[in-house]
Structure 1
Amino acid sequence: MMAGIGAAALSLAACNDQDKMETGTPVAGGQRATAMLMTATGAPVGRATATEVAGGVRFTIDATGMPAGTHGAHVHMIGRCDAPDFASAGGHWNPTQKKHGTMNPQGPHEGDLPNLVIGTDGRGTIGATIPAATWAALMDADGAAMVVHANPDDLMTDPSGNSGGRIACGVFQPA
Structure 2
Amino acid sequence: MNRWTTVLFIIVIALFLSACGTGNEEDQETENQEQSSPENNMDTGEEQGGNATAEEEVLVSMMNQDGEMVATATITEDDSGVNIHLVGENLPPGTKGFHIHEAGKCETPDFESAGGHYNPTNAEHGFDHPEGPHAGDLQNIEIAEDGTVDVEVTADMVTSQMDEDNTLYTDEGTSLMIHSEADDYVSQPAGDAGDRIACGVIGE
- TM-score, normalised relative to structure 1: 0.77
- Answer 1 or 2: which has greater strand percent: 1
User: Comparing both chains, which one has the higher relative contact order based on Cα–Cα distances under 8 Å and sequence gaps of 6 or more?
Assistant: 1
Q: Which residue of 2 aligns with 1:4?
A: none
Q: Which residue of 2 aligns with 1:149?
A: 179
User: Would you say how many aligned residue pairs link Structure 1 and Structure 2?
Assistant: 148
Amino acid at match of 2:150: T
Give 1:47's match in structure 2, choosing from 72, 86, 104: 72
Give 1:59's match in structure 2, choosing from 84, 91, 110: 84
**Distance in 1 separating the partners of 2:189 and 2:170:** 22
Structure 1 stretch 75-84 or stretch 122-131: which is displaced more? 122-131
Q: Shift in Å at residue 30 of structure 1?
A: 5.3
Amino acid at match of 2:98: A
**Distance in 2 separating the partners of 1:107 and 1:160:** 11
Q: Which residue of 1 aligns with 2:169?
A: 139
Identity of aligned residues (%): 39
Deviations 1:82-112 (A, max 9, x none): 0110011111111121111111111111111
- Aligned to 1:138, what secondary structure does the other structure show? coil
**Distance in 1 separating the partners of 2:83 and 2:197:** 22
Structure 1 stretch 134-143 or stretch 80-89: which is displaced more? 134-143
Q: Shift in Å at residue 50 of structure 1?
A: 2.1
Contact 2:168 2:202 in 1 (8 A): no
Q: Shift in Å at residue 72 of structure 1?
A: 0.4
Amino acid at match of 1:146: L
Q: Shift in Å at residue 42 of structure 1?
A: 1.2
Gaps of 5+ in 2: 1-51
- Answer 1 or 2: which has greater helix percent: 2
Q: What is the alpha-carbon root mean square deviation over aligned residues?
A: 1.8
Q: Which residue of 2 aligns with 1:17?
A: none
Amino acid at match of 2:200: G
- TM-score, normalised relative to structure 2: 0.67
